[in-house]
Amino acid sequence: MPEITLPDGSRRRFDHPVTVGEVAAAIGPGLAKAALAGRVDGRLVDLSHRLDVDAGVSIVTDKDPEGIEVLRHSTAHLLANAVQELFPDAQVTIGPVIEDGFYYDFAYKRPFSTEDLAAIEQRMHQIAERDLPIRRRVLARDEAVRHFESIGERYKAEIIASIPGGEPISLYGQGEWEDLCRGPHVPSTGRLRAFKLTKVAGAYWRGDSRNEMLQRIYGTAWANPKQLQEYLTRLEEAEKRDHRRIGRELDLFHLQEEAPGAVFWHPKGWALFQQLISYMRERQTAAGYVEINTPEIMDRELWVQSGHVEKFGENMFMTRTPDERTFAIKPMNCPGHVQVFKQGLRSYRELPLRFAEFGKVHRYEPSGALHGLMRVRAFTQDDAHIFCTADQITEESVKVTELILGIYRDFGFEDVRIKFSDRPPKRVGSDEIWDKAEDALRQAAAAAGIETSLNPGEGAFYGPKLEFVLRDAIGRDWQCGTLQVDLNLPGRLGAAFVGEDGQKHIPVMLHRAMFGSLERFTGILIEHHAGKLPTWLSPVQAVVMGITERQAAYCLEIAERLKNQGLRVELDLRNEKVGFKIREHTLKRVPYLLVAGDREVEGRSLAVRTRHGKDLGAIGIDPLAAALVEEVASRGRIILEDRVSQRPSA
């Protein structure tokens, strides 16, 4: 009879076979009530899973990430059940869990409407209230195919037919409804209490544009109504912060079909973009990097040699010239940096050698994946490659980590998580080399004093990496910076240096990016700050405006003076009421609105308002200019408001 080992090491012996649910009940009624699924020797299973031999068992609740996934998976089935109750002719295809929710693809004779979505969600709640037990049964493959063909579910029959013969096929049912599924699921529909359908979109069967178009219904599900409401509130806030909308309002950039996935930068957006580059250039130079530039188009054979064509070829743009040569538009900068390293005889005395480049790269992304600045085909990387010896990996990695975290702090990101991504299935190099690279990166992370979580199988095809994940103002995570240890590409591309022993050695190459994609980082910044960028980053830092035409000459003089001190200043002399102009520039999120009337002209001052509506009163030109220049130089501190608040009252 089974002996069950629990996570705390304690053991419980049963004199008869038991289910995972019965194990939970034996531990306590509270756990039994909270249990959603279980893990048996590491495998996620239903509570109905039967145990008749010794095993290690842990109970999964909605406090566990796996528990939330089980909830979402079961809610996807709830959605499919509701659709087929309301629309019996609809066929179900696939319904996986995704980040923060789930979706299900349906084949139906007409598009689902907004009204349909509301009716489907209402029916889902009704099915949940029925508290139907969820059951599992297993069929042989051929029997399962015949079953789904008999009820007209040809998509399910096609999925099963592609599964290797002899593999058991599991079906999950609730009431009279049943679907193909690997599971596991919650024990009954009554456990599904907090969900919401969010949208419907088109999707091709099996993701192939040559196949028929299906309808994909998206939804979200959470452990309780409070978590659901918090998520919906975050969605509303994210909509307000959408960088595409703010980009239009602030006249920063646009995208159009003639250049899918490529950005048309407008003057103000380009000013912001160049500010990011200037900042990064300054930080890199101080950290010992030298900047280079490499061609955007190189012969395909170089990319074959590096391994990119084999591992990354489907994401590369190729072009053939009249002389029958095939060239690739670079998706990455690393092979070009190796070519620069190879020019001349390198010595160990030159190492570490830190090459940096603001390199324009192109990668093919499916049209459906493109999303404003966040997912593009043409983007600029703040890329760098450090050529060093094996003994220098730890020291250089610590420096990179400290630099990345310091830069994020300058941009207002204090909450940063770091993931350790190890070898992916598609990779170059031997397991022995990968063992060395992964060990080196682990030692470097330990030396830097940072905690990492494992992100299995997500390393680059040439080496393991650390991924730096930023959490923004509304709790969303963005993976930006990376640090990769590469013991493969330098050797594949013929890089070498002369060591202290007089012999040739292959250098280690550390790949490093901090923003990642400058386009994407710009989008993240816009959304993080809801368009109200810090003064040093704002495309327009101040607007000078007069109340009447009488102040025009004075406003022009002051605007030129501020511009000459390096500030990005606009002049507004339109024949409009000053209140109208203030509202307009406030909506454009300009940090400071500087207003001149007759009194300000006489006193050589300006009335200062902030974009938050705060009136700072009249400030003399010299102290105003000095405070603004200092605020921009400080990269984040609020200087002008603080100075005003510290002034003695009259």
2 DSSP 8-state letter: -
13 given a catalytic annotation: no
Once rounded to an integer, what is the mean pLDDT over residues 616-635? 94
Q: Is the pLDDT reported for residue 310 higher than 70?
A: yes
Q: Which CATH class is domain 66-238?
A: alpha beta
Q: Residue 264 has which token pair? A: 């048309």
CATH value of 253-528 in 2.60.40.1930, 3.30.70.2080, 3.30.930.10, 3.40.190.10: 3.30.930.10
Catalytic residue chosen out of the listed positions 91, 215, 275, 381: 381
Q: How far is CA 283 from CA 279, 432, 484, 641, in A?
A: 6, 36, 20, 28
Cβ atoms of 108 and 202 closer than 8 Å: no
Calculate mean pLDDT across residues 23-32.
Answer: 93
pLDDT of res. 150: 86
Long-range contact set of residues 123-129: C-beta below 8 Å, sequence gap at least 24: 123/82, 123/85, 123/86, 124/75, 124/78, 124/79, 124/81, 124/82, 124/192, 124/195, 124/197, 127/78, 127/81, 127/82, 127/85, 127/174, 127/175, 127/189, 128/78, 128/189, 128/190, 128/192, 128/193, 129/190
Buried b (16+ CB within 10 A) or exposed e, 527-551: bbbbbebbbbbbbbbbbbbbbeeeb
Listed in sequence order, the residues at least 6 apart from 199 whose beta carbon sits closer than 8 Å to its beta carbon are 117, 217, 218
**What tens digit of pLDDT does each residue of 417-457 get?**
999 999 998 888 889 989 988 998 898 889 888 899 999 99
Contact 419, 452 (CB under 8 A): yes
Task: Answer whether residue 649 shows pLDDT above 60.
Answer: no
Report the mean per-residue pLDDT for the chain: 92
First-to-final CA distance of the chain: 87
Whether residue 159 has pLDDT greater than 70: yes
pLDDT band at 364 (very low <50, low <70, confident <90, very high): very high
Compute the C-alpha angle 304/310/313, nearest 5°.
Answer: 90
The phi, psi pair for 267, rounded to 5°, reads -50, -45
pLDDT tens per residue across span 70-83: 999 999 999 999 99
pTM assigned to the model: 0.82
Q: Which of 503, 424, 419, 414 is nearest to 458 (CA)?
A: 424
Given 46, 62, 116, 383, the catalytic residue: 383
**Would you say 36 and 30 are in contact if contact means Cβ atoms under 8 Å apart?**
no
Give the pLDDT confidence score for residue 70 in this predicted structure: 96
Question: Exposed, middle or buried, 400 (CB in 10 Å: 0-12/13-18/19+)?
Answer: buried
How many angstroms separate the CA atoms of 545 and 527, rounded? 28
pLDDT at residue 338 in the model: 97
CATH code for 3-61?
3.10.20.30
Measured distance CA(590)–CA(542) in Å, rounded: 6
Residues 38-54: what's their mean pLDDT? 93
385 included as an active-site residue:
yes
Task: Determine which one of 334, 388, 480, 555 is catalytic.
Answer: 334
Confidence of residue 622 (pLDDT cuts 50, 70, 90): very high
Residues 590, 540 contacting (CB under 8 angstroms): yes
Q: Is 480 among the catalytic positions?
A: no
Cα–Cα distances in angstroms (integers) from residue 123 to residues 114, 230, 300, 332, in the given order: 14, 23, 56, 49
**At residue 479, does pLDDT exceed 80?**
yes
Annotated catalytic residue 511: yes
Catalytic residue among 363, 423, 505, 581: 363
For residues 512 and 398, give the distance between their C-alpha atoms in angstroms, rounded to a whole number.
Answer: 12
Taking the CA atoms of the chain, what radius of gyration do you get in angstroms?
30
Q: Using CA atoms, how far apart are residues 415 and 28, in angstroms rounded to an integer?
A: 37
Fold of 542-645: Rossmann fold (3.40.50)
CA torsion 349-352-355-361 (nearest 10°) is: 130
240 is annotated as an active-site residue? no
Exactly one of 73, 354, 377, 385 is catalytic; which is it? 385
| 217 Cβ contact list (under 8 Å, min separation 6) | 79, 83, 103, 104, 106, 112, 117, 120, 197, 199, 200
Q: Is residue 337 among the annotated active site residues?
A: no
Q: Is the pLDDT of residue 471 over 50?
A: yes
591-600 pLDDT tens trace: 999 999 999 9
Whole-number Å distance between alpha carbons of 37 and 21:
8
The rounded distance, in Å, linking the Cα atoms of 523 and 263 is 12
388 is catalytic: no
User: Which one from 241, 465, 520, 529 is the annotated catalytic residue?
Assistant: 465
Q: pLDDT at position 648, please? A: 55
Catalytic residue among 72, 505, 511, 520: 511
Which segments of the chain belong to CATH 3.30.980.10?
66-238
Q: Which residues contact 602 (CB under 8 A, 6 or more apart)?
A: none
Residue 186's pLDDT is 96
Location of each CATH 3.10.20.30 domain in the chain: 3-61
**Confidence tier at 367 by pLDDT (50, 70, 90):** confident
Query: Which of 64, 60, 55 is closest to 44 using CA atoms?
Result: 60
Cβ partners under 8 Å of residue 15, min gap 6: 1
- pLDDT, residue 650, reads 44
pLDDT digits (tens, 9 = 90+) for 164-216: 777 778 999 999 999 998 889 999 999 999 999 999 988 888 877 788 889 99
Cα(637)–Cα(628) distance, rounded to whole angstroms? Answer: 11
